[in-house]
Structure 1
Amino acid sequence: MEVVRDERGGATVVLDGHPQSYVDTDDPLLLVFEYVQHLALVLEALRPDPAPLRVTHVGGAGMTLARWIHRVHPGSPQIVLEPDTALTELVRRELPLPRGHRIRVRPQTGEDGIAALRDASADVVVVDAFDRGRVPGTLAGQRWAREVARVLAPGGLLLVNTADRPGLHWVARLGATLQTHLPYVGQLVLREVDKGKRFGNVVLVCSSAPLDDVTLTRSAARAAFPTRWRPAAEVAAATRRAGVQPFGEVGEPSPAPPEVGRLGLR
């Protein structure tokens, strides 16, 4: 476990030989990895008001997105659920959080941490948790979906960073599972991943209220990487046609990536 600095002034958190986060403490708006840009894109599109947001992060690492939210939505109370205390201590020591932040790190798993939160206590929940490059099955089943939906305020957003092989069958099953509790589930995805050209990340955007497809489509078209927004209605129709079934109480881990360590970067 180490922090590797580069000539740009930023740093990469490396765990077990694999990069976990890229952080520039002087410029928290610098987001290097495409899926982190996608998470920020959704918040910029759907929550443009700079007012504080109540945000819970499942998975912390370098807390790149939490730093971005602190800059874009000053005063936001944020909870980070990160069970790896050694990792958190390293990040605090080498990549200190900005002054005046309201980011609180709890040494808990996503399941335990979410279960301890009050009903409707979060405007946004961001799930970005990987174990050896795979989303754990405990963060994919009906029990998990119920708990996350309970914690979200009415009309709140659940953003989930996932990863899948071509065909995106696992992502479809996760989306179907979440849809049983949060009816509107759209996808933000790189075009080459959407076309089945390679294994890659998909960001699921979920809510109890309809999503602004027009704004998200326009924002995706302006993304630095070729990106497509798949509206909830399109995703739901494709799921029905394919006969995709939701996971049970506990889900299945996402497929292993070709090269563990390339995904789950924060």
Structure 2
Amino acid sequence: MTTSTTAIEVSGLTKSYGPTAVLRGVDLTVPTGTVYALLGPNGAGKTTVVNILSTLITADAGTARVGGYDVRTDSDAVRRSIGVTGQFSAVDELLTGRENLRLMADLAHLPRIEARARVEDLLGRFDLADAADRRASTYSGGMKRRLDLAMTLVARPRLIFLDEPTTGLDPRSRRDLWQIVRELLAEGVTVLLTTQYLEEADQLAHTVGLLDAGRLVAEGTPADLKAQAGGDTLDDVFLALTGHSATPGTDTGTDADREVAR
């Protein structure tokens, strides 16, 4: 990643699938070493933003730079700079936890001694050491999510995308992952987080962007957004600005975003 005070710069990002507009001119900036939470209901366009920024798909219009690199013209450099934990687990359930991490170390071309040390460090850090030699198919949902994130971190990326990382987890597992995000932040890692959980954005983010039907309807610190809408919670803010909630189970009626993620 090139040295910069800005990790992500997005301007005028648009994306449509046939007649369905998923993104409608999104602008956002993520300073280096911060957590940016993109908050919105199902179908708002959150996963599409992540897929464009991680070079999985291309935008119809607009520009985006990640780690100082243009996602369109420097896609290889972008991919080398980032780690991605998507909605759907990358864990191979036929492999053990240790084998999954070793596979990622091999893909990152880490030297053997460094790879071995990195794998053991991550197993300990993510509280997976005791289960390291069990097949991942025997892991709980929270353990699989921790392993998935550990796999993302094998190559020590300085910028990571977490696309709804705690969806479906129990409250304790969710809070465990929040603590991991805080530790990454303390190490100077930049995090772009998408979430439907208002509390998650409130707990973790320096900046929250409210995404609704493909538009960024508001952006600011959690405290600033609450003051702007005259509410005590981010749910109050979302309701004030959009007329509906951002909580799970609410849908804007746009299915294209979820189809991209499948």
TM-score normalised by the chain length of structure 1: 0.32
Q: Greater Rg, structure 1 or structure 2?
A: 2
Structure having the larger proportion of residues in helix: 2
Which structure has more RCO (C-alpha within 8 Å, separation ≥ 6)?
2
TM-score normalised by the chain length of structure 2: 0.33
